[in-house]
Amino acid sequence: MEDVYNEIYSLTEQIPAGKVSTYKRIAEALGDPLAARGVAEALSINPLPVKIPCHRVVHESLMLGGFRFGIEEKKRMLEKEGIAIEKNMVKAEIFDDFRSTKILEQMKNEQEKMSKKVELEDSDFELIAGFDVSYYERFAKGALCLMNLDMEILEVRTGYDLSCMPYIPTYLGFRELPLFKKLSKGLKNVLYFIDGNGIMHPRFCGSACMLGLEANAPAIGVAKSKLLGEISENRVIYEGRQVGWKKNNLFISQGNKISLQKALELTEQFSIYKTPEPLRMAHINAHISKQR
């Protein structure tokens, strides 16, 4: 899996002294201007703030933006490099001549290819599982809760990894895939509930599709927010096509090897509370305690 953090840091290293760039310009160099907040997240945990000059990255408006050592230190460092600052606005040439692999563009292309492999018809299963991941900076903890059809817990698997990318909407499957591969290893005849979208996605290939394809198993996306589309009654419509359901505060969509109607029925069948029980238990077990 490509490391998007390293790509962001590599791009930031290219900004010369005396110039600045912006979160959006770096996101564009990655291949998607909508990744600007992910760029800011990655730079907020910059491991080498001297070598990787994140103080040279500002908002598109040329406002200074944040800095892990404080805004006054960011101003001091920029002024030392000859950059004028007035009322927290930078007066400098903007650098955007990046040498880039366009890593997010590559990921988009991969999702488009994968979307053609997604199966939207029902497949048999004997067990159910929920999968979720939580994050603290680059530290990731995943949990998979395996149950029988009576919702009795058979096994809970947890694992840890160094995340390969910050939070960037529509690319979350890439972020979660390494831990999913580790935790689902050896499992067969399982239906997966995934905390994310399935075909309710601009490229019809959200994390539930990607993980369902990886496991060659039925998968249902259960998301907390609507990524796209319009709601008509309880249906989510995108480009004239129903891509999911709204159920309470959840958005349900097909991931793989499942029909639209069955995705809704199974979500309801295996829910004691609002969320399907395997997914609720996975969420509990994926929690990272930030106490020190």
Copy the structure tokens of residue 211. 């993980």
Catalogue the active-site residues: 54
**Paired tokens of 207:** 């994390």
State the residue for tokens 């908002």: 59
Residues in a beta bridge with 219 = 192, 256
| Of the candidates 52, 40, 39, 48, the residue with the CA atom closest to the CA atom of residue 12 | 52
Question: What global pTM score does this model have?
Answer: 0.93
pLDDT per position in the chain (292 positions), as tens? 689 999 999 999 999 999 999 999 999 999 999 999 999 999 999 999 889 999 999 999 999 988 988 999 999 999 999 999 998 899 999 999 999 999 999 999 999 999 999 999 999 999 999 999 999 999 999 999 999 999 999 999 999 999 999 999 999 999 999 999 999 999 999 999 999 999 999 999 999 999 999 999 999 999 999 999 999 999 999 999 999 999 999 999 999 999 999 999 999 999 999 999 999 999 999 998 764 4
Q: Which of 52, 44, 47 is nearest to 11 (CA)?
A: 52
The superfamily (CATH) of domain 117-285 is archaeoglobus fulgidus dsm 4304 superfamily (3.30.2170.10)
Architecture of domain 4-101: Orthogonal Bundle (1.10)
Q: Rounded distance, CA 69 to CA 71, Å? A: 7
Element (H, E) at 111: helix 103-115
In the chain, domain spans: 4-101, 117-285
